[in-house]
Amino acid sequence: MNFDHIDIIQSLIDGVLFGSIYALIGLGFTLIFGAMHKLNLAYAASSIAGAYSGLMSLTIFGLPPLMAFIIGPIMSGVIGLILYFVCFRFMPRGNHLAPLMASIGALFFIDELIIHETSGSPMSFPATLPDAYFFLGEFGIRGDLLLVMGFSFILMAIVMLLLYRTKLGLGTRATSQQPVAALLCGIPIHRTNSATFILAGVLGGFAGCLLAASVGVLSPLLTLPLTVKGLIVTVIGGLGSIRGAIVAGFAVGAAESIFLLVRGVNERDIYVFLLLFLFLVLRPNGLFGTTINRD
């Protein structure tokens, strides 16, 4: 195998651009984990389901392709809210296994529903900028991925603004630090949690649509890899750390792309997982995590 620095830098560029999708999913996982200290394993599935409903509304109502990027996130937000009610809202607070298991059940359900509705065959998703390709010296940049990245940055900025500049964000952060104390201060924690789930869902819906647009197809096979990569990003970034999730998203995308170049597609993920183990051994709190959030 021979490759020079140009190949390496090229694959780094591709990886970082694609990593913005991982960053969005990781951010969603982090938001939910931060709010409840519980894991929603159905999260990536709900993102893909949102993208699917966006795509289906195009074919059913004959809408312009751009509408998929509006309907998809909205539907993901709705699914997120439903997930909150069926998997988390009525569970005893001290029990971590039951909601986790319920969200696994929801993952199965969403996955199977998609397979059932589409007969398991992938559906093509409208590309955003099919012909755009820029050259930067010797390196090429895919226009649609650049758009994905720009879009992700806007979304991240909006989330940051919501969290740190609004009353809702204050409530969310308070609930994540001390749910009981927040309740005593008059913060309606169930409503706050619902809002967090909707927000994370909308983010995931955008991520799902962007992923589908840059891959070109939507397939139920996307849910499990997206779930696993999102979780890895969350852990490497540090549980509950928002900037950690964003940085780790880009880092994992870049690392994955390098492993793809060096070791090929069959072995790529082995090294991504080994990277995670390296983090667990050497830095169990992740890049920006604190021990408080390590649960």
CA–CA separation, 14 and 5 (whole Å): 14
8 Å CB contact between 77 and 16: no
Using the rule CB under 8 A, is 266 a contact of other proteins?
Answer: yes
| Per-position x/- string for 49-88, each x denoting binding to other proteins as judged by CB under 8 A, each - no binding | -------------------------------------xx-
Q: How far is the CB of 290 from other proteins (least distance, A)?
A: 13
91 binds other proteins (CB under 8 A): yes
**Least gap, CB of 228 to other proteins (angstroms):** 6
**Other Cβ atoms within 10 Å of 231 Cβ, number:** 19
Query: Does residue 153 belong to the site contacting other proteins (CB under 8 A)?
Result: no
Give the nearer residue to other proteins in terms of CB position, either 147 or 285. Answer: 285
Q: How far apart are CA 86 and CA 57, in angstroms?
A: 25
- Angstrom distance (rounded) from CA 130 to CA 50: 22
Say whether residue 184 binds other proteins (CB under 8 A): no
- CB closer to other proteins out of 127 and 271: 271
End-to-end CA distance of the chain, in Å?
Answer: 42
Q: Closest by alpha carbon to 49, among 94, 139, 114? A: 114
> Counting contacts by CB under 8 A, is residue 224 touching other proteins?
yes
Span interacting with other proteins, options 126-134, 137-145, 252-260, 272-280, rule CB under 8 A: 272-280
**Contact (Cβ atoms closer than 8 angstroms) between residue 127 and residue 213:** yes
What's the min distance (Å) between Cβ of 91 and other proteins? 6
Contact indicator for 150, 23 with CB cutoff of 8 Å:
no
Q: Do residues 205 and 72 make contact, with C-beta atoms less than 8 angstroms apart?
A: yes
Choosing from 17, 198, 211, 239, the residue that interacts with other proteins (CB under 8 A) is 239
Q: 130 vs 284, which CB is nearer to other proteins? A: 284
Residue choice 96, 173, 190, 243 for contact with other proteins (CB under 8 A) = 96
What b-and-e string marks burial along 123-155, b requiring 16 or more CB atoms within 10 Å of the CB? eebbbbeeeeeeeeeeeebbbbbbbbbebbeeb
Q: Which of 63, 67, 70, 105 binds other proteins (CB under 8 A)?
A: 105
Work out the angle at residue 215's Cα, subtended by the Cα atoms of residues 116 and 83, and round it to the nearest 5 degrees. Answer: 45
Residues lying near other proteins in the complex (CB under 8 A) are found at: 33, 38-39, 41, 86-87, 90-92, 95-102, 104-113, 115-116, 224, 228, 231-232, 234-235, 239, 266-267, 269-270, 273-274, 276-277, 280-281, 284, 294-295
